[in-house]
Structure 1
Amino acid sequence: MTADPVTADLVIFGKEWGVRPSGTEQLVRRLVPQSRPQGRRALWVNAAGARASLDAGPAAGGIRVLTPRAVPMLCHPLSRRANRHLLGRQVQGAMAEAGIARPILWASWPTAVDALGRLGERAVVYQCDDDISALEGGDRGPLRAMEDELVERADLVLASSPALAARFPRYKTILVPHGVDMGLFAAPAPRAPDLPDGFVAGFYGGLTPWIDTDLIVAAAEALPHWTFFLIGPIPDHPPALSGLPNLVLAGPRPHESLPGYSQHWTASILPLRDTPRMHACTPLKLREYLAAGTPVVATGGPALEGYREVLAAVSGPDWFIRALAVTAGNTNSPDRVRRQRARVAGDSWDEAARLVADALDRL
């Protein structure tokens, strides 16, 4: 496909903008400011189910955000038919207000396939950060079928891991590993005022099914003199996590404030279940933990490959607990901090965005 002389604008179908920055958001924040002299604008379309708002207002620089109305049950044939019309009309209006025409349509979730062909797009990009076939719960068949359709119609596929890239046609797939914002996570940050004193095992992120909450509980019971401080959305019914005096469900915190916690707690914990889904993915927080400089104690098998020399990769509660105990005397090791940060220094989001910008300009 021949590129126009003007850098193409973007219409991105992603998660909710600005809540917990996804890999897509990290890239888009850098692609718009670093665009070529002609400029690049972007419209970010929040996923269905995000907080309701029809305002397509500015978010950052040349990026505008739209939260459209959509019919629930996005994979149902009747809902898909309705959403093709409803979603297309709303996005078309927001594009007109932003002065966007003939954009590159960027989908970070398969349900965006229903917008294809309605927006005058010049090209389609699918960014895959997750193994759809390994999602927990529900009927994955319709979603996988939507992904297959999206991949077939895409001009470019961005995959965040080699395992994911291997699932797609080689001729139109590039590997774009997750990055890290070294400027945010490695620069010294003041200690968060609500971070407990003493030994603290810290975690941030959603308590999703691939987080081993049983392991957290076992460690909290075995180490009563430690505080287990968990930052992130609190599930309606957090299994077994409530009632322990040394386990704190702290709730969400702004992304920019996280180094004030992760640089100052005793150890960052990443208790991942060894599941098919985690075989294909690398959690965003892994590189951020390493950049923060405190010891990292993690489980999870293949998700840790390439990082085992700079973290404590363990299996089972006994070794997890022992590794945490060891960190109590190793928190301020300058050599360990240097090695951790050196391992992820080349994995910046800026470098990932340059790789994507070059690929977009070839469409």
Structure 2
Amino acid sequence: MRKMKNIHVIIATAEWHQDQLRYRRHRLAEFLQKKSDTEEVIWLCPTPRRTTDNFTTLKNGIKQWTIQDLFPQKVFRFGRYMDLFYKNKLTTFNQYINQIKKKNRLIVWFTFPGFPYIANGFHWDTIIYDCSDNWTNSISGKKSFVSYFRQKVIQKAEERIIDKAHRIFCTSQYLHDQVIQKIEHPSKSHIYTFENGVEFDLFREKKLPMKAILPDRFNGTVLGFIGGIKSKLDFELIQDVATKKSNWLFLFVGPDQTTENDGFHQLLNNKNVVWTGSIDPFDVPKYMQLIDIGIMPYKASSYNKAIFPLKLFEFLAAGKPAIGVHLPSTTKYVEQAVYNHLETNDSQAFIQACEKLECEKDCPEYIDRRIQVASGKNWNDIFEGMLQLV
């Protein structure tokens, strides 16, 4: 008799390649895809584009199922959280799930609080909420009627998912505490914290740095940020530091997801600021070779209080010291010449902290220590720990 296998459905924020980045959810899906007891992994996500084929198989074997938004404009994304606007679009998906549920164990992973009806209207063996962001708060921190409406809609959707979830995983203690405040059940034993990790082996491979990125004949200190460039970053802080430290080079690597009002494009007017644009996520270790100090300069905001940055352990795995600003979830990793953290956007304090790291960046003892810290944060180990609780 055939042993029952697992069907994993990942409720994701966007189509697989849309963000041009590899987030926690991408790594989770690929991890589950490789497990021997997995029958298939389905990536169910919204899409702003019109399509006649909402079901495709990706090159990695994961099946992508898209749900079309009301309209392509960003303002209409609230429809992802309200049953009225997407429930009927799940009919075909529901039929497919009903066909396979008798022969397999069905597990759904909500990686954002979208499509809450899926938690209520389907028969799952296990419902998981993998909470990686403070979804009800705006990234930019700007307040308006639209942002207030969005907050309330997402809050209600998230509460429905939390209420139905058998397991809840959070990427920071802040999110863990926030979830506990939202839960109605007296038991909190099904809520766990699993921070973000690193593909450690990928960063330990010997890779040559990318060429023709830095200015000719530049041999000074490079401060680098790698990841999605968003409004949650403090561009005013970097603008001030770049002006005061003209002998430093600031390297930004990743897709620009800002608006003209966020300050990033103004920052690029500085001769000592370089932006590469989007890159292949698997080339990140090559770009790490160009960096002397990894920077994570975030604004002070409710949204950023919840963040555990994906890049922290990647910097350390590459042997690079790092500095974070307004990232309280990372303070327990503060260690001399390894990681420094600031709770201020004062440019002089940032400069002094980086100057200290600059003096310590090439010390073999400290390089080994950074790598050692990162070695205990491998993604596969994190996901194995989560899976044991499912």
The TM tier, using the shorter chain, reads: 0.7 to 0.9
3-state SS, counterpart of residue 39 of structure 2: coil
For residues 77 and 267 of structure 1, do their structure 2 counterparts lie closer, same or farther at Cα, with a shift above 3 Å needed? closer
- Name the structure 2 match of 1:227: 249
When structure 1 is superposed on structure 2, of 154-163 and 112-121 the one drifting more is 112-121
3-state SS, counterpart of residue 6 of structure 2: coil
- Name the structure 2 match of 1:89: 91
Is 1:74–1:111's contact at 8 Å kept on the other side of the alignment? no
Indicate the percent of aligned positions where both proteins have the same amino acid. Answer: 20
| Alignment partners' CA distance in 1, 2:293 and 2:122 | 47
Q: How far did 1:65 drift?
A: 1.8
Equivalent residues in 2 for 1:1-363, closer than 5 Å: 6-15=4-13, 16-18=15-17, 19-36=20-37, 39-49=38-48, 54-61=54-61, 63-72=62-71, 73-75=76-78, 80-86=83-89, 88-92=90-94, 103-135=106-138, 136-137=141-142, 138-139=147-148, 140-166=151-177, 167-168=179-180, 169=183, 170-196=188-214, 197-198=218-219, 199-234=221-256, 235-237=258-260, 238-239=262-263, 240-309=266-335, 310-314=338-342, 315=344, 316-360=346-390
Give the aligned residue type for 1:243. Answer: N
Give the aligned residue type for 2:197. Answer: G
Give the aligned residue type for 2:16. Answer: W
Give the aligned residue type for 1:228. Answer: F
Q: What does the per-residue CA deviation read over 1:218-269, in whole Å, with 9 as the maximum and x for residues that have no partner?
A: 1111111222111122234151323212112221111111111113322111
Give the aligned residue type for 1:54. Answer: N
**What TM-score, normalized by structure 2, do the two folds share?**
0.82
Q: What does the per-residue CA deviation read over 1:180-226, in whole Å, with 9 as the maximum and x for residues that have no partner?
A: 11011233321111331423211112232321111111111111122
For residues 217 and 94 of structure 1, do their structure 2 counterparts lie closer, same or farther at Cα, with a shift above 3 Å needed? farther
Q: How far did 1:50 drift?
A: 7.2
When structure 1 is superposed on structure 2, of 45-54 and 211-220 the one drifting more is 45-54
Give the aligned residue type for 1:14. Answer: A
| Alignment partners' CA distance in 1, 2:199 and 2:376 | 11
When structure 1 is superposed on structure 2, of 65-74 and 302-311 the one drifting more is 65-74
Is 2:45–2:66's contact at 8 Å kept on the other side of the alignment? yes
Q: How far did 1:302 drift?
A: 1.1
For residues 261 and 276 of structure 1, do their structure 2 counterparts lie closer, same or farther at Cα, with a shift above 3 Å needed? same
Q: What does the per-residue CA deviation read over 1:4-27, in whole Å, with 9 as the maximum and x for residues that have no partner?
A: 962321111113324311112212
3-state SS, counterpart of residue 355 of structure 1: helix
Give the aligned residue type for 1:312. Answer: N
Q: Any gaps of 5 or more consecutive residues in structure 1?
A: none
Q: Any gaps of 5 or more consecutive residues in structure 2?
A: none
Q: What does the per-residue CA deviation read over 1:133-175, in whole Å, with 9 as the maximum and x for residues that have no partner?
A: 4333412111111101111112221111222122235132222
**What TM-score, normalized by structure 1, do the two folds share?**
0.87
For residues 304 and 158 of structure 1, do their structure 2 counterparts lie closer, same or farther at Cα, with a shift above 3 Å needed? closer
Is 1:32–1:41's contact at 8 Å kept on the other side of the alignment? yes
Q: How far did 1:356 drift?
A: 2.0
Is 1:266–1:331's contact at 8 Å kept on the other side of the alignment? yes
For residues 358 and 78 of structure 1, do their structure 2 counterparts lie closer, same or farther at Cα, with a shift above 3 Å needed? closer
Is 2:8–2:32's contact at 8 Å kept on the other side of the alignment? no
Q: How far did 1:78 drift?
A: 10
Give the aligned residue type for 1:49. Answer: P
When structure 1 is superposed on structure 2, of 67-76 and 306-315 the one drifting more is 67-76
Is 1:182–1:348's contact at 8 Å kept on the other side of the alignment? yes
When structure 1 is superposed on structure 2, of 332-341 and 233-242 the one drifting more is 233-242
For residues 210 and 74 of structure 1, do their structure 2 counterparts lie closer, same or farther at Cα, with a shift above 3 Å needed? closer
Is 1:263–1:293's contact at 8 Å kept on the other side of the alignment? no
Is 1:71–1:79's contact at 8 Å kept on the other side of the alignment? no
For residues 336 and 105 of structure 1, do their structure 2 counterparts lie closer, same or farther at Cα, with a shift above 3 Å needed? same
Q: What number of residue pairs does the alignment pair up?
A: 353
| Alignment partners' CA distance in 2, 1:78 and 1:8 | 26
Q: How far did 1:32 drift?
A: 2.2
Q: How far did 1:44 drift?
A: 0.6
